[in-house]
Amino acid sequence: MNSIKNLDWKLLNTPLVVFLLLFLGFPVIVNLYYSLSEVSFQTLRAPELTGFGNYLTVLTDPAFWQASWFSLRFGVVTAVAECALGLCLAIFLAPLIEKHSALMAPLMLPLMVAPAMVGLMYRLVLHEFVGPVPYYLYEWFGNSPSFLNAESAFWTLSVVETLQWTPFAFLLFYMAYEAIPDEVRQAAQIDGAGPFQRLFYIDLPLMAPTLIIAAFIRFIDGFRVFDNVYTLTGSGPGGSTTSLPIYIYEAFFKQGAIGKAVAASVVLFLASFSVLFGLNWLSGRRKGATK
């Protein structure tokens, strides 16, 4: 009985696994080979196997670590900001949106615009002479700060990213909030729980899995940010807004250092894989303990 069910589960996974093997199997093998080779665009079909030199180059490149640090910081800052804002909005506006579901539409709108385009538009929006933001700052306060120099660019980019992706967190939280049956809240109310007690002892614990998932997705997306940063500041003065994907893209296409770019990706993959694997293992152990 159990072994039959086991076969069922395997069958359910099969299409996905086959698809990935078909479409990523060959690229993964080629890329692993490239990462161990001296290879350029001219020698794509005849890479020269050289060992772990590319990995050494990447790991000793200060620019790689600078990019990793930017990505990490950007991922954490934007994920926290988006989830905090999204959660407040979802819980506070839930009664309103329940009654008027059309209100959801304007809050989802920012998600629809291509991030690359959003980055491009901010080049206009923040421009000192033709952008509305500096224009109104000059009108009202007689001055306007620098938005995109080496120090301020990180925060400007964080705001740009947060404004666009808070709706993502909001949407997930709103769904999770609405999925909590009213009876549960009513029962708590009858037991004498005030609104804040209900929030902290009923709503938030029940929404916890979604909170974790949303924060996780937003962190990954912030970590691998590319489009909007690339169109707005590029790699930034002195490389100060180079995220890890921008570092890899530039190594690949601009420098033609294919081996280095792929090696950096492998390092990134292994690092994030071990983090995920570790988290999984931890949560598995915790589950085992509570059972």
**Which positions from 204 through 223 interact with other proteins, judged by CB under 8 A?**
209-210, 213, 216-217, 220-221, 223
In the complex, least distance from residue 289 CB atom to other proteins, rounded to whole angstroms? 17
Residue 237 in the binding site for other proteins (CB under 8 A): yes
In the complex, least distance from residue 120 CB atom to other proteins, rounded to whole angstroms? 5
Its sign, for the CA torsion 102, 104, 106, 110, is: negative
Tell which one of 79, 81, 169, 248 touches other proteins (CB under 8 A): 248
Residue 64 in the binding site for other proteins (CB under 8 A): no
Q: Which residues fall within 8 angstroms of residue 85, CB to CB, at 6 or more apart?
A: 162, 166, 169, 170
Write the single-letter amino acid at 187: A
Determine the Cα–Cα distance for residues 80 and 265; give it in Å rounded to an integer.
Answer: 25
Tell which one of 64, 147, 154, 173 touches other proteins (CB under 8 A): 147
Residue 252 in the binding site for other proteins (CB under 8 A): yes
The 10 Å Cβ neighbour count of residue 108 is 12
| Residues 172-191 contacting other proteins, CB under 8 A | 172, 175, 178-181
* Residue 48, strand partner residues: 38
Tell which one of 56, 69, 205, 254 touches other proteins (CB under 8 A): 254
Residue 158 in the binding site for other proteins (CB under 8 A): no
Say if residue 216 is exposed, middle or buried (CB neighbours under 10 Å; 0-12, 13-18, 19+): middle
| Residues 72-111 contacting other proteins, CB under 8 A | 89, 92-93, 95-97, 101, 103-111
Map residue 114 onto helix, strand or coil: coil
Residue 49 in the binding site for other proteins (CB under 8 A): no
The 10 Å Cβ neighbour count of residue 250 is 19
Residue 122 in the binding site for other proteins (CB under 8 A): yes
Residue 51 in the binding site for other proteins (CB under 8 A): no
Give yes or no for a contact between 86 and 170, defined as CB atoms under 8 angstroms apart: yes
Cα–Cα nearest to 251, from 243, 136, 101, 259: 259
| Residues 267-286 contacting other proteins, CB under 8 A | 268-269, 272-273, 276-277, 280
